[in-house]
């Protein structure tokens, strides 16, 4: 049964081009099969595993830096990850590449809602890795973004670039990354 669950993960385009001309109306073009959660006084977000994902973990497949429609997402049961998957333990912050993480104001918009959510929910541990993917893979973050995360969590936060150096060739494909807990803005 476990093998069947491992093989049953369906991956959908991370960047759904059907909604490219109206990315903020109704559906968003980022993980378009899901609805964001709205809490009073908070920014819209997604958290996994959750009721929305039926308790399954978020998995990201592909690391294209230029065409996010080549990247995909899916959900897997915690004990039945795809056989080629890498599990990233702990809480991972996933930010849409709609933001330019080298730009001061974009970085502020991307990072501060996560920091506020983390503090409001009194999370005991800092995120174990900052996930820089979504739509297209990030290739850089500004020092300002790194500094605000360091000030918040009192140490350097690891930024995961999904083996971008190795992933330019299809022969180096290593399978999806799955996240134990994910906070997405």
pLDDT band at 77 (very low <50, low <70, confident <90, very high): very high
Q: How far is it, in rounded angstroms, from Cα 138 to Cα 68?
A: 11
pLDDT at 179: 84
**pLDDT digit string (tens) for 82-118?**
988 988 887 777 765 556 667 777 777 777 777 777 7
> Residue 136 gets which letter from DSSP?
S
- Specify the long-range contacts of residues 42-45, CB closer than 8 Å, at least 24 apart: 42/113, 42/116, 42/117, 42/120, 43/113, 43/185, 44/185, 45/113, 45/117, 45/183, 45/184, 45/185
Average pLDDT, whole number, for the chain? Answer: 71
pLDDT band at 7 (very low <50, low <70, confident <90, very high): confident
Peptide bond into 39 cis (omega under 30): no
pLDDT at 168: 38
pLDDT at 102: 73
pLDDT average, residue stretch 27-42: 66
Residue 102: CA count within 13 A, CB half-sphere? 3
Residue 173: CA count within 13 A, CB half-sphere? 10
pLDDT band at 35 (very low <50, low <70, confident <90, very high): low
CA distances from 84 to 68, 87, 136, 158 (A): 21, 10, 21, 23
pLDDT at 27: 55
Whether 55 shows a pLDDT value over 80: the answer reads yes
Whether 134 shows a pLDDT value over 60: the answer reads no
The DSSP secondary structure of 76-127, one letter per residue, reads E-TT---TT-EEEEEEEEE--TTS-TTSHHHHHHHHHHHHHHHHHTT-SS--
pLDDT average, residue stretch 133-152: 67
Whether 10 shows a pLDDT value over 50: the answer reads yes
What is the length of the chain?
185
pTM for this entry: 0.73
The DSSP secondary structure of 37-49, one letter per residue, reads B--TTS--BEEES
């Amino acid at each position: 049964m476990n093998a069947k669950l491992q093989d049953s993960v369906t991956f959908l385009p991370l960047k759904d081009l059907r909604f490219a001309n109206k990315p903020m109306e109704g559906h968003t073009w980022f993980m378009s099969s899901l609805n964001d959660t709205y809490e009073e006084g908070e920014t819209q977000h997604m958290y996994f595993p959750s009721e929305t994902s039926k308790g399954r973990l978020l998995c990201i497949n592909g690391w294209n830096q230029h065409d996010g429609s080549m990247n995909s997402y899916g959900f897997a049961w915690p004990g039945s990850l795809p056989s080629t998957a890498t599990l990233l333990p702990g809480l991972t912050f996933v930010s849409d590449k709609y933001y330019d993480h080298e730009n001061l104001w974009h970085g502020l918009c991307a990072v501060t809602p996560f920091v506020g959510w983390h503090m409001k929910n009194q999370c005991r541990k800092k995120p174990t890795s900052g996930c820089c993917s979504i739509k297209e893979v990030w290739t850089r973050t500004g020092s300002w973004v790194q500094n605000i995360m360091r000030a918040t969590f009192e140490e350097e936060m690891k930024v995961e670039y999904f083996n971008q150096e190795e992933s330019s060739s299809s022969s180096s494909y290593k399978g999806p990354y799955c996240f134990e807990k994910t906070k997405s803005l």
